[in-house]
């Protein structure tokens, strides 16, 4: 099963819709609620990073018997220093985004905590692909 959801840059009114769709899809598939919670949190963080830091992108959910895979793919400025970006509290979000309550620098660290597997590929001035894997226990 594959679900692809577009995510718009700076569309804060729609932010969270992709994570919500992923959650509802996993519920319909009968996935364990604790696993759904982890996937939904990580997906929301990835979606918000697309909204805040890119020119738009997409979330792709793939579910098979062994793994739930969420890919967050964006076009944009990329991550210049991945090691620094993984530190809790580090953020490159603009002030207006922080004033809305977003951009606290917890996105990538929260994805790492929630996922069983995390891969990040980023090219400056091209974009970022985040792949998160979750062991399917259902």
- Residue-wise pLDDT tens digits, 70-85: 999 999 999 999 999 9
pLDDT value of residue 17: 98
pLDDT value of residue 41: 98
Domain that holds residue 108: 2-135
Q: Alpha-carbon torsion 103, 76, 62, 18, what sign?
A: positive
Which of the pair, 138 or 10, is modelled with greater confidence?
10
Helical residues (DSSP H) of the chain, grouped into ranges: 17-28, 33-53, 82-85, 95-99, 107-114
Residue written as tokens 């603009």? 94
Is pLDDT at 90 greater than 70 in this prediction?
yes
pLDDT value of residue 138: 55
- Plot region of 113 (φ>0 → left; ψ -120 to 50 → alpha; else → beta): alpha
- Is the pTM higher than 0.85? The answer reads yes
pLDDT value of residue 137: 75
Nearest of 55, 51, 71, 58 to residue 5 by alpha carbon: 58
Region 35-64: mean pLDDT is 97
Give me the CATH number covering residue 128. 3.30.565.10
Average pLDDT of the chain, as a whole number: 96
The total number of structural domains in the chain stands at 1
Is pLDDT at 113 greater than 90 in this prediction?
yes
């Amino acid at each position: 099963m594959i679900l692809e959801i577009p995510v718009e840059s700076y569309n804060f009114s729609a932010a969270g819709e992709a994570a919500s769709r992923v959650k509802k899809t996993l519920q319909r598939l009968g996935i364990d609620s604790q696993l759904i919670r982890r996937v939904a949190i990580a997906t929301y963080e990835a979606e918000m990073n697309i909204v805040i830091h890119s020119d738009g992108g997409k979330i792709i959910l793939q579910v098979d018997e062994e793994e739930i895979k969420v890919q967050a793919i964006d076009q944009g400025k990329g991550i210049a220093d991945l090691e620094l970006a993984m530190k809790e509290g580090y953020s490159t979000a603009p002030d207006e985004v922080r004033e809305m309550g977003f951009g606290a620098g917890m996105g990538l660290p929260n994805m790492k905590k929630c996922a069983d597997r995390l891969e990040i590929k980023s090219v400056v001035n091209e974009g970022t692909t985040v792949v998160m894997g979750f062991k399917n226990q259902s």
